[in-house]
C-alpha cells in the first residue's frame, strides 16, 4: 500500500513538472506588416509566421504573435519584452543583442520591376546610368546601390511607399523600380486591375538576395534552449520539403490570401 502511495505521489509530481515545463515553452514573437511574408490580415499570418509556428510546434513550443511597426518589434525584442522577432538580416550590431537561427527562415530577393513595353537589360551598375530609378524611403537595396545613389552616379527618386513606386512606373515617371520579388507581385495583384497587372514584369537578375533570420533576445535566458529546439526543427522541416512548399508552391497558388 505504501509503495502504491509513493508511486502515485511521484506520478503526480512528474505530471505537474511536465505541465509546468510545457507552460514555459509558450513564446511571443513580434513583427510588422510585409505581405505576403507576414501580415495579421493573411491566412496563417503569412508564409513566414506559418513556417515559424509549424517548426516550433514540431518541437513542442507554442508561438504567439504581437503585430506592431517593425522598429517597435525589434526594440521590444532587444529589451526582452517579447522573446524575439523575425525576418531580419544579420548584422554585426544585431548579433550583439540577439541569438540568430542557424539558417535563414526566408530569402529576400530584390529585382528590378519595369513595364513590358520597355526594353530593359542590365549586367552591371554601368547599365543603369541615365535611367530613372524609383526607390522607397528607408529601404537598403545593397551597399553598391546605396553608394551609387549617394555619389550621384545613379538617378534615384525616393518616395514614401512601394505602391507609390509601382504607380509611378505605370505613369512613366520612373523607368525601373527595385523591389522584393514576392512582395512586388503580391502588391501588383492586390492593388491593380487585371488589365494593368499584365503590364508589369521584372528582370531575372537579382539586385540583392539575402537571407533573413529568426532573432531571439539575449535578455531571456530560456531563449538559448528555445533557439536550439528551433534549429533542430527547421533542419528537419527543410529536409522534408515543407520549406519549399510553403515559400514557393503555396505562395504561387495564393494560399495565404483569406
CB 75 within 8 A of CB 147: no
Rounded percentage of the chain residues whose pLDDT exceeds 70: 91
Give the class (CATH, top level) of 28-107+212-252. alpha beta
Give pLDDT, residue 22.
Answer: 46
- Cell 515545463 locates to 21
158-203 confidence digits (pLDDT tens) = 999 999 999 999 999 999 999 999 999 999 998 999 999 999 999 9
Integer angstrom CA distances of residue 163 from 90, 124, 194: 27, 26, 16
* 3-class DSSP string for 88-107: ECCCHHHHHHEEECCCCCEE
- The class (CATH top level) of 108-209 is alpha beta
Residue 221 belongs to what H/E stretch? none
Return all residues near 172 (Cβ < 8 A) that are at least 6 apart: none
What confidence score (pLDDT) does residue 45 get? 97
Please indicate whether residue 250 or residue 55 has the higher confidence score (pLDDT): 55
Record the pTM: 0.77
Which DSSP string do the residues of 128-142 spell out, in sequence order?
GTT-EEEEETT----
Q: Which three cell numbers stand for residue 89?
A: 538580416
- Stretch(es) of the chain classified as CATH 3.40.190.10: 28-107+212-252, 108-209
Give the pLDDT band of residue 25 (cuts 50, 70, 90).
confident
More confidently predicted of 14 and 76: 76
pLDDT higher than threshold 60 for residue 16: no
pLDDT of 215 strictly over 60: yes
Cell numbers describing residue 191: 492593388
**Sole residue written with cell 538576395:** 209
Instruction: Specify the pLDDT at position 253.
Output: 82
CA–CA separation, 208 vs 189, rounded Å? 23
> With 50 as the cut, is the pLDDT of residue 153 above it?
yes
Residue with cell 525584442: 77
CA–CA separation, 180 and 186 (whole Å): 10
Among 211, 216, 209, residue whose Cα is nearest residue 87: 211
For 86-115, how does the pLDDT look when each residue is reduced to its tens digit (9 = 90+)?
999 999 999 999 999 999 999 999 999 999
Which residues sit opposite 215 in a β-bridge? 85, 100
Number of Cβ within 10 Å of residue 57's Cβ equals 12
Average pLDDT over residues 42-68: 97
Sign of torsion over alpha carbons 100, 105, 111, 114: negative
Amino acid at each position: 500500500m505504501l509503495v502504491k502511495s509513493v508511486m502515485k505521489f511521484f506520478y503526480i509530481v512528474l505530471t505537474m513538472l511536465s505541465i509546468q515545463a510545457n507552460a514555459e515553452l509558450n513564446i511571443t514573437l513580434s513583427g510588422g506588416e510585409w505581405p505576403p511574408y507576414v501580415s495579421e490580415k493573411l491566412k496563417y499570418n503569412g508564409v513566414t509566421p506559418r513556417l515559424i509556428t509549424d517548426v516550433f510546434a514540431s518541437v513542442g513550443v507554442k508561438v504567439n504573435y504581437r503585430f506592431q511597426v517593425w522598429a517597435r518589434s525589434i526594440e521590444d525584442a532587444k529589451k526582452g519584452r517579447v522573446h524575439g522577432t523575425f525576418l531580419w538580416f544579420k548584422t554585426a550590431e544585431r548579433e550583439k543583442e540577439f541569438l540568430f537561427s542557424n539558417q535563414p527562415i526566408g530569402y529576400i530577393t530584390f529585382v528590378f520591376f519595369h513595364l513590358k513595353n520597355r526594353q530593359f537589360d542590365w549586367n552591371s551598375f554601368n547599365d543603369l546610368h541615365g535611367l530613372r530609378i524609383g526607390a522607397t524611403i528607408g529601404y537598403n537595396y545593397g551597399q553598391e546601390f546605396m553608394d551609387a545613389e549617394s555619389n550621384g552616379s545613379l538617378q534615384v527618386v525616393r518616395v514614401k511607399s512601394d505602391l507609390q513606386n509601382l504607380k509611378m512606373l505605370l505613369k512613366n515617371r520612373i523607368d525601373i523600380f527595385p523591389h522584393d520579388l514576392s512582395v512586388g507581385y503580391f502588391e501588383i495583384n492586390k492593388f491593380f486591375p487585371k488589365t494593368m497587372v499584365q503590364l508589369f514584369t521584372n528582370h531575372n537578375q537579382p539586385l540583392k538576395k539575402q537571407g533573413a533570420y529568426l532573432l531571439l533576445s539575449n535578455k531571456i535566458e530560456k531563449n538559448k534552449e528555445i533557439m536550439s529546439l528551433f534549429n533542430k526543427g527547421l533542419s528537419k522541416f527543410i529536409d522534408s520539403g515543407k520549406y519549399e512548399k510553403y515559400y514557393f508552391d503555396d505562395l504561387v497558388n495564393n494560399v495565404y490570401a483569406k
